[in-house]
Amino acid sequence: HLDHATDRALVEEAVELGLGSVMFDASALPDEENVALTAEVAALCQGRGLWVEAELGEVGGKDGVHAPGARTRPHEAVDYVARTGVDALAVAVGSSHAMTTRDAVLDLELIAALRAAVPVPLVLHGSSGVPDETLRAAVRHGMKKINISTHLNKTFTRAIRDRLAADEKVVDSRKYVGAGRTAVATEVTRLLGVLAG
C-alpha cells in the first residue's frame, strides 16, 4: 500500500512495482483539480487492478497543521466518489494526523451519515489520536479502514528508549530494535481486538 501519495509519477511507479493499493491524496488542491487528478489516478490504478483510496475534506495534522473544525459533508462525499470512481474514501470527522495524545473527539453522527450516503468504504486517518472506546464507536458507526501510525511509532520508540536506558552499554542495534518490534506487535494485536470489539 502506498499511503498519501501526492505525485502521479510516484503512483505510476507503485503500479509498475506491483503494489496492491494506493491512497492518492489531492485534498490540498482546489476541488476541481482534486477531482480531475484523482479520477485520472483512479482510472490508471484500477485499470491495472489496484484499489484506490482518496481523501475529501482535508484531515488535519499534515505538515503540523491541525484543523479541528474540518468536516466532510455527506452530499460532497457522494458527488466526489461518483466523479472520481475511488474504491474508498478518507473523510474528515474530527481526527488529525500525527497526534501524540489520544484525546480526539470524533463526530459519530457525521460518520453514520457519511456511511449511509457514501457507496464505498470509509477510512479514518489520524486514528492515533483517538481513544480506544471512540475507535470502537467509529467502527460501529461505519468506519471500515482505520489508519494508525503515530501511536505505533511512539510505542516503538518508547520500547527502544527503555531498552537502551536499562543497559547503557548496549550498542548493537540487533539487541535493542527487537524490543521495539515486539512492543509494536503487542500493541497491534491489542488494537485489532479493540477494533473487532
Each residue of 150-161: b (16+ CB within 10 Å) or e?
A: bbbeebbeebbe
Strand order in 21-24's β-sheet? 2-5, 21-24, 51-56, 88-91, 122-124, 143-146
Which CATH code of 3.30.565.10, 3.20.20.70, 3.40.50.720, 3.40.50.300 fits the domain covering 2-148?
Answer: 3.20.20.70
Query: Are 54 and 24 a contacting pair, CB within 8 Å?
Result: yes
Q: And the C-alpha cell for 94?
A: 474530527
Name 149's Cβ contacts closer than 8 Å, sequence gap at least 6: 128
Catalytic residues: 3
- Residue 53's φ and ψ, nearest 5 degrees, are -115, 145
In tens, the pLDDT along 139-197 reads 999 999 999 999 999 999 999 999 999 999 999 998 899 999 999 999 999 999 999 97
Could you tell me which residues come within 8 angstroms of residue 169 by beta carbon, excluding any fewer than 6 positions away? none
Cα–Cα distance, 80 to 84 (Å, whole number): 6
Q: What is the pLDDT of residues 8-30, one digit of tens each?
A: 999 999 999 999 999 999 988 88
Residue boundaries of the structural domains of the chain: 2-148, 149-197
The answer to whether the predicted template modeling score (pTM) of the entire model surpasses 0.85 is yes
What band does 110 get if pLDDT is binned at 50, 70 and 90? very high
Give Cα separations from 180 to 126, 147, 157, 176 (angstroms).
Answer: 21, 19, 6, 7
